């Protein structure tokens, strides 16, 4: 009897595709959701990697131009009011407000410093929103995918017990396929969750570094403009 059971179990196809095809509709749906979530997570991860690398390169290039000794008005005239690069856009926001704050007689409108800082903070907020776009999805996938996979596993094991009841047998050939199909759902849940969590932490840290650089530049630029305002007032 044991030899027959082992022979029957050996004839069962336990490949991933075969397990998917034998799974119930609910478990198949869970697997497809997890596979789609994993692919979308990787798409976001790759896109964010290139976005952050470009942002760091543009910030480095602008930093060199800003501290090159060229007059700020000349730098602004060269890059324009809508430049490429987050740091350049923060600078452009401050310079645009600086120019708008000049009266026709050459004086400055009251509250110029506060308005410039506010304009740069708004620009930093926009850059932060663009850089962190998609990270919430990674966090969501990382937190719920194991539970979605667990749901598929529980449902699959339920089906396996139903098969045992219908077959009136607990031999390996009856139990193994259902258990294997159920565990595949948990495996897919972990496959989706682990990279999402790892790269969410990595990309969040990189975003914080880039945004922190924008904030540091904003503070330094505000100090430069503050000294200019003091000289103008004097």
Q: How many domains does the chain have?
A: 1
Q: What is the pLDDT of residues 91-137, one digit of tens each?
A: 999 888 888 876 666 666 777 788 888 999 999 999 999 999 999 99
**Residue 16 maps to a domain:** no
**Domain-embedded: residue 5:** no
pLDDT digits (tens, 9 = 90+) for 146-184: 999 999 888 888 877 777 777 776 665 566 667 777 788
The CA distance from 45 to 47, in Å, is: 6
Q: Determine the structural domain holding residue 149 and report its residue range.
A: 25-233
pTM of the full predicted structure?
A: 0.81
Residue 6 lies in a domain: no
Domain membership of residue 20 (yes or no) is: no
Does residue 15 sit within a domain? no
Q: Does the residue 8 lie in any domain?
A: no
């Amino acid at each position: 009897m044991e030899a027959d059971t082992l022979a029957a179990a050996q004839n069962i196809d336990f490949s991933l595709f075969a397990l998917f095809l034998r799974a119930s509709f609910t478990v198949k749906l869970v697997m497809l959701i997890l596979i789609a979530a994993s692919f979308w997570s990787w798409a976001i991860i790759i896109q964010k990697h290139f976005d952050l690398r470009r942002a760091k390169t543009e910030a480095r290039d602008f930093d060199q131009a800003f501290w090159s000794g060229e007059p700020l008005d000349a730098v602004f005239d060269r890059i324009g009011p809508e430049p490429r690069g987050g740091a350049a856009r923060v600078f452009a926001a401050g310079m645009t407000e600086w120019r708008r704050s000049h009266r026709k007689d050459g004086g400055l409108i009251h509250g110029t410093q506060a308005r410039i800082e506010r304009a740069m903070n708004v620009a930093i907020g926009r850059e932060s929103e663009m850089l962190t776009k998609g990270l919430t999805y990674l966090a969501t996938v990382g937190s719920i995918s194991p539970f979605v996979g667990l749901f598929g596993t529980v449902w699959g094991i339920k089906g396996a017990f139903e098969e045992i009841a219908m077959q009136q047998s607990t031999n390996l050939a009856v139990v193994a396929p259902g258990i294997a199909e159920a565990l595949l759902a948990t495996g897919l849940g972990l496959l989706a969750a682990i990279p999402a969590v790892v790269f969410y932490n990595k990309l969040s840290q990189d975003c914080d570094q880039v945004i922190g650089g924008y904030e540091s530049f904003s503070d330094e630029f505000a100090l430069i403009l503050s000294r200019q305002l003091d000289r103008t007032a004097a």
